Amino acid sequence: MKIAFITLSAEGAILFGELRKAFADADYFLHDKVEGEFAARRFSRVADLTATIFNQYEGLVYIAPSGAVVRAIAPHLRDKMTDPAVVQMDVGGRWAVSLLSGHEGGANDLAFAVANAIGAEPVISTSTDASKNLIVGVGCRRGVEAERIIDAIKTALADADLTLRQVRCIASADVKADETGLIEAARALGVPLRFIASEEIRKSTLDFEKSEFVEQSVNLPAVAEPAALLAGRRTSLLLRKRIFKGITVAIARERSLSLA
């Protein structure tokens, strides 16, 4: 996916530094009112920039207020099958909102990818995703094959009388962000993969089982259970961690506000 990151502020430009680690091939655009040396192309009006690049990229990520983003893209919207994916972020790097072309254009996946890059919360509001309320937490030893992870996830779901169609995302710790088997497993299952910051897991007071082995291996109290719990809101464990020869799987349910 050809991606452009656009920001109006110095705070947003600072986030460029972290984003480049995950999106090295993307293009970066910064408002020319921002003083300082930043590795980014400059522009004077976000509306004019958007008019120029809207159809040149498959994904546009604005680090800017949502109102400014909506006004910039509104004149160019045509069809969800052809419009680019648009994600909006706040300058604090707290949220990555799938704003336009969530499914068809890939904005939902892009929101997850951006969130993983900087430790933000992906915000997905498409109705088909909102109805999914399961989060599968996964921990694994280095080098575990994708096929084994897939089998472990499917077995855990079946044991709990649950289905893959109910799964909103797979979650793990950020120390597993380069785990090829895990990444390939999520892609094969067609489920977004979210990585939870290690520090968030260490500070968590949620009810999950700690593991001395995991502590010694990756300096974390656990992976599967806290990742499943922390990847959503109002979560509770439906299935505590199951161990499958070097793979741990836990399943949490995210309750809607009306059921909380």
- Classified by CATH at the fold level, domain 132-259 comes out as Nucleotidyltransferase; domain 5 (3.30.420)
Q: Report the chain's mean pLDDT, rounded to a whole number.
A: 93
Q: Which of 75, 72, 1, 86 is nearest to 43 (CA)?
A: 72
Element (H, E) at 170: strand 167-173
- 128: Cβ contacts below 8 Å, ≥ 6 apart: 103
Question: pLDDT tens-digit profile of 92-131?
Answer: 999 999 999 887 789 999 999 999 999 999 999 877 778 8
Is pLDDT above 50 for 34? yes
Residue with tokens 């993983």: 116
Is pLDDT above 70 for 213? yes
Is pLDDT above 80 for 246? yes
- 24: Cβ contacts below 8 Å, ≥ 6 apart: none
The CATH architecture of the domain made up of 3-125 is: 3-Layer(aba) Sandwich (3.40)
- 120 in the Ramachandran plot: left (φ > 0), alpha (ψ -120 to 50) or beta? beta
Tokens at residue 71, please? Answer: 């006004």
Q: Is the pTM of this model over 0.75?
A: yes
| Rounded alpha-carbon distances, angstroms, from residue 12 to 47, 89, 147 | 17, 9, 39
**Interhelix angle 66-73/46-53, nearest 10 degrees:** 50
For residue 100, what are the β-bridge partners?
Answer: 86
Q: Are 188 and 147 in contact (CB under 8 A)?
A: no
Is pLDDT above 60 for 260? no
Residue with tokens 């509104």: 74
- Rounded CA separation 16/3 (Å): 13
Locate the domains of the chain by residue range: 3-125, 132-259
Q: Residue 191, Cβ neighbours under 10 Å: how many?
A: 19
What percent of the chain has pLDDT above 70? 98
Q: Residue 84, Cβ neighbours under 10 Å: how many?
A: 24
What percent of the chain has pLDDT above 90? 85
Confidence of residue 32 (pLDDT cuts 50, 70, 90): very high
Is pLDDT above 80 for 259? no
Q: Residue 161, Cβ neighbours under 10 Å: how many?
A: 8
Question: pLDDT tens-digit profile of 156-180?
Answer: 999 999 999 999 999 999 999 999 9
